[in-house]
Each structure stands twice: as C-alpha cells, then as structure tokens.
Amino acid sequence: MDLNSKPIAAKTGHSPRSVTILGSTRSVGCNTVELVESNPGDYVVEALTANRNVKLLVEQSLRLKPNTAVVADPDSYQELKDALAGSGIEAAAGIDALVEAADRPADWVMASIVGAAGLKPTLTAVRRGATIGLANKECLVSAGEMFVNEVDAHGATLIPVDSEHSAIFQVFDFDNADRVHRIILTASGGPFRELTLDQMASMSPEQAVAHPNWDMGAKISVDSATMMNKGLELIEAFHLFPVSGDQIEILVHPQSVIHSMVDYVDGSVLAQLGTPDMRTPIAYALAWPNRMAAHAPRLELAEIATLTFETPDMERFPALRLARETLNAGGAAATVMNAANEVAVRHFLDKNIGFLDIVRIVEETLNAAPKGRLNNLDDVAEADAEGRRIAEALILELANK
Ligand SMILES: NC(=O)c1ccc[n+]([C@@H]2O[C@H](COP(=O)([O-])OP(=O)(O)OC[C@H]3O[C@@H](n4cnc5c(N)ncnc54)[C@H](OP(=O)(O)O)[C@@H]3O)[C@@H](O)[C@H]2O)c1
C-alpha cells in the first residue's frame, strides 16, 4: 500500500479519532460527514445531531453508525426513533439530549449548529477538554471572553473552521505573536458588493442567499450579503488570536482565493490560499495536527490570472462599522449585536422586513440595550435574551407603521 493513501491512524499508529458532529445536516455538517466517510479507517462516529431534518439525519446515521442521533426539536423524536428502530443507534430529542450528545466521549467535535443555539452544546464539549472544530462563530462572538476562559480552564483545543480563521491559524506564529504587525481578514464582499444602497433596499431573501463563491446555509449567506458575517469574524478573530482589535483589518477580495493573511513586523506577509471550498478548512480541522485529502478543486492560479482587492465601503455596509464599535465597546455589546442580528435575519428570510432593515434593527437594538459587563454565562444568556426581546419589539413596531 502506498504510504500516502494509508489512513492517518495507520500511519501514526494511533487508533481512529472518535468524532461528534453537532449540526450534521447542512453545509458544514454535510461536508464533515463526507470527509469522515471518505476516510473510514481514521474516524468512528460518536454522535450526530440536527434541528429537525430527520430524513437526512437518519440517512447519515445509517451510513456512519453513530452511537446516538439527536434532534433538537422534540416534535421530531418519534419519527427519528421509528426510522432508527432496530439499527442499534440510540435516538434522542431536545436541548438536554443535544447537550448529552456533546458530552459523550468523542475526541473531536464539530461545532456546526448555527447561531447562539450552538453555545450550550459546544461549551459542554469544551468542558470535557475536547478538540473542537469551531464553525459556529456566533457562540464565540456572543460569549467571547467567557468562552475562551472555559477553553483555557478545561484544556480544550479550538481549531477554527471559518476559512479565514483557518487560514490565519495556519500562518500565525503563536510563539512570536508580538512580531505580528496585523491580521488581514479577507472578505468576498458578498452578492451585493457592487450595489448601491437604493438597489440593496429591494433585494429579496433569494437574491441575498445566492452567494457568488460559497455554498452556505441561509443565515450565514444573508450575513455575507450585509457583511455582518465579516463583522462577526472580526470579533471571532479578536478572541482566537493574541492581537488587539486595531491589528485586525478587513480587505475585500472578491475571488476568495486568499483566505486571509498575517503581516509580520519585518514586512513578510504570510497567506493561505485555496479554492473557495469549505472541505479544505474542515479537513484541516478534522485531521489536525495531520493533513488529509479533501477533494476540493485544486487551485490553478494561471486560470484565475487576476486577484483583486478593495477597501470595504463602510457607508454601504454599516454592519462593519457596527461590529468594530461593538468590539471596542466590549462587555455585552457583541452578545446583543449577535442576538439582534439572528432575529433580524430570520425576519428577513421570512419576508417580514427588508434587506436594509436588518442592520438598522441591529443598530437600534444596540442603542437601546443595556451593555454592561459580562461576569458569567448567565449574564451572556440575559444579554442575549434582552437583545432578542428588543429586536423583536422593534420589528413589530416597523410592521405596525
Ligand atoms: N456554510 C459555510 O460555508 C460556513 C462557513 C463558515 C462558518 N459557518 C458557520 O457554521 C455554522 C453552520 O452553518 P451551515 O451553513 O453549515 O448551516 P446552517 O443552515 O446554518 O445549519 C447548521 C446545522 O444546525 C442545525 N440547527 C439549526 N438550528 C438549530 C437549533 N436551534 N438547535 C440545534 N441545531 C440546530 C441544523 O439542523 P437542521 O438541518 O435540522 O435545520 C443544521 O444541522 C454557522 O454558525 C455558520 O456561521 C458556515
């Protein structure tokens, strides 16, 4: 057997890595499932979870044979239980079951539940010292310092899955962090990069989710269109890497080939490049500290020929300004911003508000909400709930105008 085609476990003499995929039924989760399946000798699956997509969860479970499969939605329990009857796979439902799934002894956990709903289960895996592939940026934005403190206290390891943070992680010299001049976080600019504010005003959810480069879930696609995604990533980068907020710059790079860069004091700029395909950063996190084949299209720079860059436009994309202000404000501001954004994006997807209302609602929520210090996770939950309450009230007010 060619050594390069051997499972990593066979090459290293380690036993296969046990993995849990929290949120296995959409973009990041499905890609993780695909990578696990393509390397059967290297991984065994402990748990798979979804919100309510029972059909796909059952298909994945029957192929990957986890010990348990969980749906967050209790109403989907009977369907899941019936479909898994006789398979030897335990079926469970509800938030507590999700937390129990995260608590099962998997070495590696993919955190790909969307939004603040991912916080509790991800923290559960953190608290037992697991290695976490972190796709869910919202939980890091929302709980920030609390989350990082838990990671440190329990000896957990965070491997970023967001392509930008994976790129930085791969080129950041952690032993010489004081030699880093700045991080350059690249942004595609999203589907509305060239539109005027007037044109954006009439954009539909269907147009907002049609991302030019990446195939992603609805929420993150809308975040890319408002560029709130880059704002969340700015805060995510602040918590993941030992730099100040002022050392993180955002650069629009429409081709999404350079996934981000680290600029050192001597003028060397180290970048990670690749085709815009989430299998690459997911594979990096899944195999870390090794590498595995990801079967993403290879990067052919001669075919691309031109890479371009632009300064982001803060007037047309005020989410970037809001995120920067939020980072500078500290305390509960990021928790409130994230909560209000989740509410506003859901109402936009449900066609209750217009595209430009999303960031307007977030800003008004930030203006109205108390943004005190966060001392513990109860404070995070309280600030999150308050952000959601204010955003819902503002949206109701808008609807009644
Ligand atoms: N997609 C990307 O390329 C990408 C890139 C970087 C980072 N991310 C981040 O990765 C996360 C996942 O994004 P995604 O695009 O893969 O998919 P997604 O549509 O956002 O959903 C992810 C998963 O979460 C589950 N889920 C949704 N609401 C839940 C709830 N309340 N409780 C428990 N589970 C719930 C979904 O289950 P159902 O299928 O049953 O609804 C699905 O399995 C997000 O935080 C996103 O920001 C994504």
pLDDT tens digits, one per residue of 224-282 = 999 999 999 999 999 999 999 999 999 999 999 999 999 999 999 999 999 999 999 99
DSSP string, 65-112: --SEEEES-GGGHHHHHHHHTTTT-EEEESHHHHHHHHHS--SEEEE-
Model pLDDT, residue 12: 59
Question: Which structure tokens are listed for 218?
Answer: 């609805």
Cα(185)–Cα(166) distance, integer angstroms: 11
Locate tokens 């969340």: which residue?
232
Cβ(276)–Cβ(167) below 8 Å: no
% pLDDT > 90, the chain:
90
Per-residue pLDDT, averaged over 297-301, amounts to 97
Signed CA dihedral, 260, 332, 356, 278: sign only: positive
259 C-alpha to center of ligand 1: Å? 21
Model pLDDT, residue 10: 53
- Mean pLDDT is lowest, of 146-160, 207-221, 246-260, 291-305, for 207-221
Residue nearest to atom 15 of ligand 1 (CA): 217
- 168 contact partners, CB below 8 Å, separation of at least 6: 160, 183, 185, 237, 240, 241, 260, 261, 262, 272
Above 50 in pLDDT, residue 288?
yes
Cα(170)–Cα(187) distance, integer angstroms: 18
Cα(128)–Cα(125) distance, integer angstroms: 5
Model pLDDT, residue 4: 40
Question: Which structure tokens are listed for 184?
Answer: 């350059």
Q: Which atom of ligand 1 sits closest to the CA of residue 29?
A: 16
* Closest by Cα among 119, 197, 195, 109 to 159: 109
Model pLDDT, residue 214: 78
Q: In a mutational test of the pocket of ligand 1, which residue from 98, 220, 233, 349 has the highest number of ligand atoms less than 8 Å from its CB?
A: 220
- Rounded to a whole number, what is the distance in angstroms from the first to the last CA of the chain? 70
* Closest by Cα among 184, 179, 350, 192 to 265: 179
Question: Which structure tokens are listed for 171?
Answer: 């080129």
Exposure on the CB side of residue 131, measured as CA atoms within 13 A: 13
- Burial zone of 373 (CB within 10 Å; 0-12 exposed, 13-18 middle, 19+ buried): exposed
Cα(190)–Cα(163) distance, integer angstroms: 15
Cα(383)–Cα(116) distance, integer angstroms: 12
Residue nearest to atom 38 of ligand 1 (CA): 51
351 C-alpha to center of ligand 1: Å? 20
- Mean pLDDT is lowest, of 10-14, 64-68, 138-142, 223-227, for 10-14
Identify the H or E element spanning 291.
none
- 281 contact partners, CB below 8 Å, separation of at least 6: 160, 161, 162, 163, 166, 167, 259
Locate tokens 């499905």: which residue?
30
Confidence of residue 1 (pLDDT cuts 50, 70, 90): very low
Above 60 in pLDDT, residue 166?
yes
Question: Which structure tokens are listed for 387?
Answer: 């952000």
The mean of the pLDDT values for the chain is 95
CB atoms near residue 350 (< 10 Å): 9
Backbone angles phi, psi at 105, to 5 degrees: -80, 55
Q: Which atom of ligand 1 sits closest to the CA of residue 232?
A: 47
Cβ(130)–Cβ(156) below 8 Å: yes
Cα(323)–Cα(341) distance, integer angstroms: 11
Cα(209)–Cα(224) distance, integer angstroms: 8
Spell out the alpha helix ranges (H) of 104-204.
Answer: 119-127, 137-153, 163-171, 197-201
322 C-alpha to center of ligand 1: Å? 24
Cα(230)–Cα(208) distance, integer angstroms: 15
CB-defined site of ligand 1, < 6 Å? 23-29, 50-53, 72, 98, 112-114, 117, 135-138, 162, 214, 216-220, 278
pLDDT, tens only, 191-221: 999 999 999 999 999 999 997 787 889 999 9
179 C-alpha to center of ligand 1: Å? 36
Secondary structure of residue 45 in the 3-state scheme? strand
pLDDT, tens only, 333-384: 999 999 999 999 999 999 999 999 999 999 999 999 988 899 898 999 999 9
Cβ(74)–Cβ(94) below 8 Å: yes
Confidence of residue 9 (pLDDT cuts 50, 70, 90): low
* Closest by Cα among 141, 57, 56, 67 to 103: 67
346 C-alpha to center of ligand 1: Å? 13
